[in-house]
Amino acid sequence: MAYDAVIIGSGFGGAFTALALVEAGLRVVLLERGEPVARDDDDWSPRRILLEGRYAGPSPIQVRQYGASSPSPLHPMQMLGGNSVLYGGASLRLRPTDMDHWPLDYADLEPHYSAAETHLTVHGVQGEDPHEPPRSADFTSPPVALTAPAQRIHRAASALGWRPFRLPMAINFSDPTRPRCILCNTCDGYPCRIEAKNDLTTTVLQAAVDAGLQIRAGAAVGEIEMMSGRARGVVGVDTTTGDEFRVTADRIIVAAGALGSPALLLRSGIDELSPGGDWIGRRLMRHCNAVLTGVFPFVTNPDQVFHKQVCLTDFYEDLRVELGTAVGTIQDIYTPSADVIKHFAPLGLRRVAGRLTQYMQNLLVVAEDDPQRDNRVSLTDERDLYGHRVARVDHDYSVADVRRRDYLIHRARRILRRAGAWITRLYEIDSFSHGMGTVGMGESPASSALDARCRVWGTEGLWVVDGSCFPTSAGVNPSLTIAANALRVAPSIALAD
Ligand SMILES: Cc1cc2nc3c(=O)[nH]c(=O)nc-3n(C[C@H](O)[C@H](O)[C@H](O)COP(=O)(O)OP(=O)(O)OC[C@H]3O[C@@H](n4cnc5c(N)ncnc54)[C@H](O)[C@@H]3O)c2cc1C
């Protein structure tokens, strides 16, 4: 079959672009190296998902981070729907001030934020977030009542004079025609066994398939084929048969995630062809995230209920003048099971950490990080089992990144203490769950890899539409912005010759 567009990757960037293009009447195929998740009991097993990496893909990335001198292999999760299947559903917008270094304004994104919130049925309440950006429409549905652990955080933060608000969430709390959330504690980090999380497979991809999208799962794309500066197609490997395949189309849309997209462009030699090619792979961001654990003199969540429900933006603008960035947000987050806590606790403290799990409650801090030129994705000479060159990541936080994180940690500690915690402990996050940058958009190829419509500078028929295109990371979770931006650029992709 002939296609008008090939999309690589089924996360927020790929799925939202796919929906917009099929609705515009284009014939579109989406290639995804992962397979649909099982939706069985193992999907709610902390051991299977968090420790054994049930969905870890076979292709490694060599990661050097936190000042280490050499890299270690990381196997990213892969599945149809991308990281949306595992994500926590927190759906926040950037603030107008976050977009100072973007080649567009908040007003350019605003209508698409509303559309994305509708597609994902985000449950939220307008007017509670003290730094809420302008909205043209209210949320489609109200949030559910705060559960007991979330109330504890809300009360403590309010008592300190701050303005906690209910976190907008893409989870089905209300639609009776679909499975509804049962408020269990296996949400963030897990596939939803009952499909109550509004991940992309239960929402946008389903709508796109109904409108004519073809999905090919188990398709690992190795290279983009270019001819005279124009993208013509892609070559990849069927992960089940091992056979090579080739798909041609006039529009090639890369949405393989902040680590996968630059790797694919570099494997295809796009850095040599594009005047902005030196920026491909650079300015990797992932937020300076950390979890602060409080240990309480009582069992914090005896009924094991869901409680990713409270957020604070009170400190968002505190360091803007000094550092030129947001500080970030503090969010309520669940406590993993005793097995998981034990596994990640320092040697010697494992047994006690396991016993203390039921007395713990956590806060997540999401701090903006700098787009540093030398934090980057490049290629090694190693090949994966499909014969594709393996990517390497080099990442170190700046002094300012750690400062923003610690600014939030200090306030998160006060909240946990006020809520009754006796002691607190900081855990750094070493995943790339909030990966961004690496193929950033900008005003010119002298300073960016993509133009303002996410087209690779100096090429025809080639776009990058996932979290890679962010010029800065802002201080909020990225998925809703990836979705809104994909809806923003899709019409220009549809109209391109
Ligand atoms: C545990 C967890 C919790 C999170 N919670 C939140 C949250 O609450 N709120 C929020 O906003 N964000 C959250 N995030 C982050 C969010 O999920 C990501 O920012 C978002 O999914 C990124 O979307 P994307 O389109 O950039 O890429 P991805 O979701 O990474 O999708 C890229 C896809 O491309 C595929 N791919 C890669 N290479 C190839 C190739 N060569 N060929 C074919 N396919 C390929 C991958 O398998 C993947 O499916 C969370 C992430 C994790 C892991």
For residue 146, the CA-to-ligand 1 centroid distance in Å is 27
429: nearest Cα among 284, 287, 283, 259: 287
Parent domain of 35: 5-495
Banded pLDDT at 186 (limits 50, 70, 90): very high
CA of 82 to the centre of ligand 1 (A): 5
| Residue 321 Cα distances to 73, 96, 100, 248, 312, angstroms | 39, 15, 12, 48, 20
- Is 232 a residue whose pLDDT tops 80? yes
pTM assigned to the model: 0.98
For ligand 1, atom 4: residue with the closest CA = 87
With a 6 Å cutoff on the Cβ, whether 124 touches ligand 1 is: no
pLDDT, position 24: 98
Per-residue pLDDT, 340 = 92
Q: Specify whether the CB–CB gap between 252 and 235 falls below 8 A.
A: no
The structural domain count of the chain equals 1
Instruction: Compute the distance from residue 401 Cα to the ligand 1 centre, in Å.
Output: 22
What is the C-alpha separation between 443 and 316, in angstroms, rounded? 26
In the structure, what pLDDT confidence band is assigned to residue 422 with cuts at 50, 70 and 90?
very high
Residue 470's domain is classified under what CATH number?
3.50.50.60
Tell me the best of 479, 480, 481, 485 to mutate to test the pocket of ligand 1, counting ligand atoms within 8 Å of each CB and taking the most: 479
- For residue 214, the model assigns a pLDDT of 98
**If residue 208 lies in a helix (H) or strand (E), which one and from where to where?**
helix 204-210
Residue 346 has pLDDT above 90, yes or no: no
Q: Is 385 left (phi over 0), alpha (psi -120 to 50) or beta?
A: alpha
- Alpha-carbon distance of 374 to 302, in angstroms, equals 46
pLDDT tens-digit readout, 353-399? 999 999 999 999 999 999 999 999 999 999 999 999 999 999 999 99
Contact call for residues 144 and 123 (beta carbons, < 8 A): yes
- For residue 440, what pLDDT is reported? 98
